Amino acid sequence: MTMKGWRLLPLLASAALLLSACSSTPGPSSAGGGQMSGSSLSGPIVEQRWNLLLVGTDERLSMSETPYFQIAKDGKVSGYDGCNRFTGEVTLGDSQRIAFSELATTRMACPQMADAKRVTDMMETAYRYLIDHDRLVFFGPDSRVLGGWREGK
């Protein structure tokens, strides 16, 4: 594990502890970052570019171009998985709940296809998120850390 990975572990551990204390039952959406029918998304995760930092708690992928994604106010998500561009939809809910759906990509072959699939799999599996300054961490339904992203330009 690199020194940067070690510095991220306390954040990830405290985030996992915080999320394990949250109810795993999704509640009704609210204006505090949720999505209601006919409304737009808002919050710190929306209209930002998020660049892949880590897969899991400490694995960095070495790709020619860094994977990233962006969420628009209308709930559309777009990005790059390391091989191909993708689009889809996202729903945000109470308690930092997140659900990506209908992710579609061209899946053109590239040398890092397996790693690109790990990026989109992380997104499809994401259940909750936590933002700490310029970092975004995705957690699975079992509160396991799926990966981390950094706010980018």
Spans of all domains in the chain: 3-21+30-152
**Smallest Cα–Cα separation from 93: which of 47, 153, 27?**
27
118-144 confidence digits (pLDDT tens):
999 999 999 999 999 999 999 999 999
- Token digits for 20? 């394990």
**Smallest Cα–Cα separation from 54: which of 97, 1, 102, 105?**
1
**Smallest Cα–Cα separation from 138: which of 64, 75, 50, 63?**
50
Can you tell me the distance from the alpha carbon of 149 to that of 52, in angstroms, rounded to the nearest whole number? 4
Q: Which pLDDT does position 31 carry in this prediction?
A: 34
Position with higher pLDDT, 29 vs 100: 100
Please give the average per-residue pLDDT across 40-44, as a whole number: 87
β 145-152/97-105 pair status: unpaired
Domain 3-21+30-152: state its class. Answer: mainly beta
7-26 confidence digits (pLDDT tens):
544 444 444 433 343 433 33
